[in-house]
């Protein structure tokens, strides 16, 4: 079972590395698009696609950034009470948090697919992108974080301390 956990942690590390690169590329693209928007407004007439592109990049960056934060244990948490509990109870609390997270992420996936279906006939005004592509980040990020919660649950069940990728990263 520990070997399976090591494999799951390795997959989580790969997901983290991919998300980090996607987030970096998204931030670079967002800065470039916003700079182009500012320059075009000042020197020329505003381009309509830059505002829309920036909006959609921000949506994707928000959800992917939430996945990165979850992977690295960076979401806001009040651990004063759980840290004072004995180790077996801490593991139980960790497992309970993982189960609640999995339920919430399952709901996010479900609602995300429902929202994508609702928007399936719509295209973005300037870029003419299918809105399902824009909103697909909801179920994608929900599935990613649900996977990470499963790893957290297994760690709690096996009594392993959570290992987050790049714990020393600032």
Own/partner contacts of 47-51, CB < 8 Å, gap of 24 or more, are 48/125, 48/126, 49/126, 49/127, 51/126
Q: Give the three-state DSSP class for 78.
A: coil
Interatomic CA distance for residues 15 and 62, integer angstroms: 16
Q: Give the three-state DSSP class for 53.
A: helix
What pLDDT, on the 0 to 100 scale, is given for residue 166?
Answer: 46
What pLDDT, on the 0 to 100 scale, is given for residue 168?
Answer: 42
Tens of pLDDT, residue by residue over 121-164, are 999 999 999 999 999 999 999 999 999 999 999 999 988 766 55
What pLDDT, on the 0 to 100 scale, is given for residue 130?
Answer: 95
What pLDDT, on the 0 to 100 scale, is given for residue 160?
Answer: 78
What pLDDT, on the 0 to 100 scale, is given for residue 42?
Answer: 85
What pLDDT, on the 0 to 100 scale, is given for residue 81?
Answer: 78
What pLDDT, on the 0 to 100 scale, is given for residue 162?
Answer: 64
**Low pLDDT (below 70) residues in the chain:** 1, 161-170
> Which of 122, 131, 138, 130 has its CA nearest to residue 60?
138
Q: Where are the domains of the chain?
A: 2-158
């Amino acid at each position: 079972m520990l070997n399976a956990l090591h494999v799951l942690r390795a997959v989580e590390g790969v997901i983290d590395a991919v998300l980090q690169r996607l987030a970096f590329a998204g931030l670079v693209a967002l800065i470039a698009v916003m700079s182009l928007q500012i320059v075009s407004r000042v020197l020329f007439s505003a381009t309509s696609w830059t505002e829309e592109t920036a909006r959609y990049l921000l949506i994707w960056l928000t959800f992917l950034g939430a996945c990165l934060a979850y992977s690295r244990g960076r979401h806001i948490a009040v651990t004063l009470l759980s840290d004072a509990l004995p180790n077996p109870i801490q593991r139980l609390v960790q497992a309970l948090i993982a189960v609640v997270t999995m339920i919430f992420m399952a709901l996010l996936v479900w609602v995300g697919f429902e929202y994508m279906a609702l928007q399936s006939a719509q295209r973005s005004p300037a870029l003419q992108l299918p809105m399902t592509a824009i909103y697909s980040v909801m179920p994608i990020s929900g599935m990613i974080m649900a996977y990470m919660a499963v790893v957290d649950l297994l760690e709690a069940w096996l009594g392993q301390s959570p290992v987050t990728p790049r714990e020393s990263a600032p």
